[in-house]
Structure 1
Amino acid sequence: MTARFFDPDGDMYGIPTFPFHMAPDGYATRRQLRASGLRPGGQGVAAQLLWYSNRRRKSGSPPALRVAYLYHRDRALPVRPMTPAKWAALARANAAQRVCPECHHDAGYRIPTSLGMCVPCATPEEQHAA
């Protein structure tokens, strides 16, 4: 067990802190709550997980300190259902991301932000060669 991040009383870090994979029962991250059909529901952060990560680490640099905030599972509320207006707004937003700003056609897929336009408009010479 990593004693460095074990602070269940919150004396060192201000809130209860636990090492990665060591959170006691009754706590959950936002993602875990969402997977259970719940949301934090206005409650504040109840605890945190801390760990060092070598992910995306550049050679010679120290590992990054990562944090995951935890919420009380028993205080969480059910996720609000989507209203018809929210579904319609989401459909419009998704449709807008499929329309090419150059040719104004629905590409049938989400326009890549790296190109800024549909693939045929971005690479016209390759399309004519084929």
Structure 2
Amino acid sequence: MRTRDFDPHTNDDLVDVDLYASTELLATIPVYKRNQAPEGLATKRQLRAMGLSCGGLEVVAEVETLGPKNGFLYEIAKARPVRPMTLAQEYALDKAMAARQTCPECGRRFYGCLKTSLGVCLECHEGTPVHPSSYFTPPAESKSA
């Protein structure tokens, strides 16, 4: 509402209504300070480090963080084990990483990802020699007769 549209002498009460808000009562969950959450609760990262997944679990509590958002806490007892990666998923992940790690000019696959701003390795870009321990040796060309 613009300031000039508001008349303080009228008795118009402005009400902020969210038409899409749920009509159910919202249950509040407890918020804990850092490192003071009770035993048996963990964040997504902590669950993942334990080999567990929070898929389908409801948030039980929050923990205050240094950032603008709080971290959600889940019950460890209700968490399920992480499903192992299938061979097809592993192959697809390796193929995607190979595309990010392989220099298109020299064909060497590096242990880390290449800079996207360059598009090639440093040796191909500016001639800076790279250490042989930083890349896989390219596969030998097989000559079939």
Instruction: Give the corresponding residue for 2:99.
Output: 96
Answer yes or no: is 1:43 the counterpart of 2:57.
Answer: yes
Which of 104, 107, 110 does residue 108 from structure 1 map onto? 110
Deviation of 1:44 after TM superposition, in Å, equals 2.4
Instruction: Provide the identity percentage.
Output: 41
Which of 119, 124, 128 does residue 121 from structure 1 map onto? 124
The alpha-carbon distance between structure 1 residues 16 and 96, as it changes in their structure 2 partners (threshold 3 A), is same
CA distance in 1, matches of 2:68, 2:36: 16
CA RMSD, aligned part only? Answer: 2.2
Deviation of 1:83 after TM superposition, in Å, equals 0.8
Secondary structure of 1:97's partner? helix
Give TM-score, length-normalised by structure 2.
0.61
Instruction: Give the corresponding residue for 1:79.
Output: 82
Structure 2 gap segments, 5+ residues each: 1-26, 130-145
Secondary structure of 2:74's partner? strand
2:106·2:124 contact (CA, 8 Å) conserved in 1? Answer: no
Secondary structure of 1:69's partner? strand
One-letter code of the match for 2:107? H
Answer yes or no: is 1:19 the counterpart of 2:33.
Answer: yes
Larger radius of gyration between Structure 1 and Structure 2:
2
Deviation of 1:104 after TM superposition, in Å, equals 5.7
1:100·1:117 contact (CA, 8 Å) conserved in 2? Answer: yes
Deviation of 1:16 after TM superposition, in Å, equals 1.5
Structure 1: 4+ residue segments shifted above 6 A: none
Report the structure, 1 or 2, having the larger strand content. 1
The alpha-carbon distance between structure 1 residues 114 and 20, as it changes in their structure 2 partners (threshold 3 A), is farther
2:98·2:109 contact (CA, 8 Å) conserved in 1? Answer: no
Aligned residues: 102
The alpha-carbon distance between structure 1 residues 114 and 16, as it changes in their structure 2 partners (threshold 3 A), is farther
CA distance in 1, matches of 2:117, 2:70: 30
Structure 1 gap segments, 5+ residues each: 1-12, 54-63
